[in-house]
Amino acid sequence: MNQKDRQFVLCIKNEGYEDLEIRKIYEVLPDENAAKDEYIRIIDESGEDYLYPSNYFYPVEIAQNVRETLLRAA
């Protein structure tokens, strides 16, 4: 997946998932099966990916230069 196709979301809720940080931006990994069940797969600080309820996140558009910086830092 190239940098342009990478998606990011903003965490807006963390009830029951205190490892999520509200107001933090997370990278999304596409997962059609999870989406069918209204879940989203995100990458956390450890570099691991986990499933969370999709309504805990809001999709965000990120400028290309910021996107590149985020992906380099990961």
Measured CA to CA, the distance from residue 70 to residue 16 in angstroms comes to 27
Average pLDDT over residues 22-48: 93
Summarised one tens digit per residue, pLDDT across range 38-74 is 999 999 878 899 999 999 999 999 888 887 887 787 6
- H/E element, 71: helix 64-73
What's the pTM?
Answer: 0.83
Q: Which residue type, as a one-letter code, is found at position 7?
A: Q
* Residue with more model confidence, 3 or 33: 33
What are the extents of the domains in the chain? 3-73
CATH superfamily of 3-73: SH3 Domains (2.30.30.40)
Q: Flag whether pLDDT at 13 surpasses 80.
A: yes
